[in-house]
Amino acid sequence: MQNIPEKRGETDSLRGPASRDGEGRGDSEGDAQGKQADAERETLMMELTRLVQKSVRESSWWEKRGIDCTILTAAFISLPAGFLLLGSSQLLYFLSGLLIMGVAHAVITVKGAHLASHGALSESPAWADFWAVFFIEVCGSFSARAGVQAHVKMHHAHTNVIGLGDSSTWKMPFLPRSVYLFIAPLAVPIITPVVAVGQLKGQSPLQIARTVVCVCVGFLSQYYLLRCVSGLSCGSALMVMLLCRAMFSVTFIHVNIFQHIGLPMFSASSRPKRIYQMTHGVLNLPRNPLLDWTFGHSLINCHIEHHLFPFLSDNMCLK
Q: What is the pLDDT of residue 207?
A: 94
Cα(222)–Cα(83) distance, rounded to whole angstroms?
Answer: 9
Among candidate residues 154, 111, 66, the one with its CA nearest the CA of residue 298: 111
Q: What is the pLDDT of residue 28?
A: 53
119-128 exposure pattern, b = at least 16 Cβ within 10 A, e = fewer: bbbbeeeeeb
Count, in order, helices (H) and strands (E) of the chain. Answer: 17, 0
Q: What is the pLDDT of residue 174?
A: 80
Q: What is the pLDDT of residue 300?
A: 94
Cα(63)–Cα(81) distance, rounded to whole angstroms?
Answer: 28
In this prediction, the residues of the chain whose per-residue pLDDT falls under 70 are 1-42, 165-171
Cα(263)–Cα(176) distance, rounded to whole angstroms?
Answer: 21
Cα(94)–Cα(110) distance, rounded to whole angstroms?
Answer: 24
Reported as a single tens digit per residue, the pLDDT across 176-189 is: 888 888 998 899 99
| Paired residues of 266 in beta bridges | 161
Q: What is the pLDDT of residue 170?
A: 54
